[in-house]
Amino acid sequence: MKFKPTLIGGALVVEMERLEDDRGYFARTWCTEEFAAHGLKASMAQCSISFNRVRGTLRGMHYQVSPSLEAKLIRCSRGAIYDVIVDARRGSATEGKFFGLQLTQDDPVMLYAPEGVAHGFITLTDDAEVIYTMSTAYQPDDQAGFRWDDPEVAIEWPIPPSRISSRDANLPLFAARRVP
């Protein structure tokens, strides 16, 4: 695996190294030793999947607060998404900054979001599937988030959303977020 830093402290683009032949390819999506060697959260407690039927489905911006802080490894296993992380850590050098990139089923790239960094995405295709591996089991009382369209953060989404949950549409502004 190749680990490439982003402008968000502790967040990395993780490129899988494919071993290809006439059958297809094989690639590691997780290696505790390699993640630990890069100073990353090297234990994962939960893996989840998000299936999205319609292009333009927006999910986010979500994170967990203490004591359930979580790191996430995000991969698009079907279709394509524009994946976004925002540094929600108060006092961080990159607080309020966002980083986004396209993830697709054909691209061997994943995004690692460290604890205290919010995550969201918009689907660029119908039937998009996203796999999350998380360092902590989900705790409903410790969930937090802020609006996907907050002008303070000013995320540059590539397309307007066609679907968004009422919960996500009514999240607070970034300035009123719960501290990670």
CA–CA separation, 78 and 131 (whole Å): 9
Q: How far, in Å, are 68, 74, 143, 155 from residue 167 at the CA level?
A: 20, 22, 12, 19
What is d(CA 68, CA 137) in angstroms, rounded to the nearest whole number?
8
**Distance separating alpha carbons of residues 134 and 61, to the nearest angstrom:** 16
Indicate if 63 belongs to the active site: no
Cα(33)–Cα(25) distance, rounded to whole angstroms? 22
Q: Which of 63, 82, 112, 132 is catalytic?
A: 132
* Gyration radius of the chain's alpha carbons: 16
Which residue out of 25, 62, 63, 138 is catalytically annotated?
62
Q: Judge whether 110 and 16 are in contact, CB under 8 Å.
A: yes
CA dihedral 114, 83, 38, 33 (to 10 degrees): 100
Catalytic residue status for 132: yes
Tokens of 128: 């998009």
* Residues known to be catalytic: 62, 132
